Amino acid sequence: MGEAPVVEDGTVTRSAEYVGSFPVDDCCLDDQIEQLHTQLKSLKTCKRMRPVSLKFSIKGVKMYNEDETKLLMAHALRRVSLSTARPSDAQFAFVSHNPGSTDAQLYCHIFQARHSRAAQFLNLLLCRCFQLSYLEKHPEEAQGDSGLLPGSKTNQKSSDDLNSSQDEVFPTSSPSLVRKKAIRTKVLRSGAFRSFTFTPLKQRNVQERLSASQGKEQDKAPVRRSRAPSLAETEEALAQAVWCWAGIATDSSFSLLADDVLGSYLLCPHPKKPKCGSLIIRFPSGLITHLIGNTHKGKFLLEQCKTEFSSIAELIEHYTETREELPCLLSCARVNHCYEWEESSSSQQLLNPRKSLNKARIKSTDRKDLV
């Protein structure tokens, strides 16, 4: 795989064909995803498409004409609610409010990529933008150099240990996409954790936990600076960054995963077996941890499943297409946890907390949280 072209302002540009847009019901997340994929499937044979250039950054998504001389569409990242793809049909799509619109209508914007991997890469770019935006807004939730991310070193295992080491679980080496913990002196705004899947109670609990953590960190010594995560990575590193929620602390990743789409997942060391990998998946029953086993032949397999794979990437790709023993497929889609459903400014949102909480309550779905 090649490098993602990136310019100094952190923008990555990729070409695609614009299929069109359609309105999306502002319903609960799982129903919305089902609606999206039904519509995308019906549009896979659409012949009226326009070649365009897409520019991704943590500020948002912009669509230009093919030679990048005319801006056709621009969406601030905070107004994009989710990203998805159908690699089998080489489709990429995202859902957002129209720029400047004051109504609550959502629209899905569909693009046709050259092939399945290109569609998945467009989706990974936007998903990574969501994660980097979250890190930028909440540096106190960043993961330090804990040695748990791809490319990190671990102690050598014993010869009779059948479980793989960290390097074997994440075999592809890549720069560690981490950011040191930083301190924010200003108060977190209430809209920072709002997404259309959050319940008011959960939002309040998360904020209280962060406020307490922030108070403790202020008494510690200054934190060393490190390279901030960016989109300037190889395609392999980009995929791993999205799968591992790279740079975001594990506890925070769990909380965010519980409010993501059905079938979303986190690739990380096993909570009880740090030398082993695991997939934590959001199923209808809640978050379930599946150990990633390693065979004598160096193959990988998911706990309670029989199919073996030569890499973690092959394993993940397989279970996005085939359920087998899993309750549901792994999902390519991800929500933007910094999504703001209102066009108004942060100060205006704070003046109307009851309206914001009621909106969140209407769109919430019942889920079992990770204990």
The low-confidence residues of the chain, meaning pLDDT below 50, are 1-3, 145-204, 206-207, 210, 214, 218, 220-227, 345-371
Q: Encode pLDDT of 137-149 as tens digits.
A: 999 999 864 343 3
**Residue 60: phi, psi to the nearest 5?**
160, -165
- Provide the pLDDT for residue 295: 87
pTM for the full model?
0.71
pLDDT value, residue 8: 52
Tell me the per-residue pLDDT of 47-86, one tens digit each, with 9 for 90 and over. Answer: 889 999 999 999 999 999 999 999 999 999 999 999 999 9
Rounded to an integer, what distance in angstroms lies between the CA atom of residue 283 and that of residue 48? 37
Question: What pLDDT does residue 224 have?
Answer: 41
The tokens of 218 are what?
A: 């202020």
- Check residue 296 and give its pLDDT: 86
Q: Is the dihedral of CA 312, 317, 321, 327 positive or negative?
A: positive
The Cα 249–Cα 135 span in angstroms is 10
The per-residue pLDDT for 133 is: 95
Residue 172: alpha-carbon gap to chain centroid: 20
pLDDT, position 208? 56
Q: What is the pLDDT of residues 77-122, one digit of tens each?
A: 999 999 999 999 999 999 998 876 666 789 999 999 999 999 999 9
Q: How far apart are CA 64 and CA 304, in angstroms?
A: 47
In 3D space, the residue among 53, 144, 161, 131 whose CA is nearest the CA of residue 338 turns out to be 131
The two beta strands, 60-65 and 106-112, are: unpaired
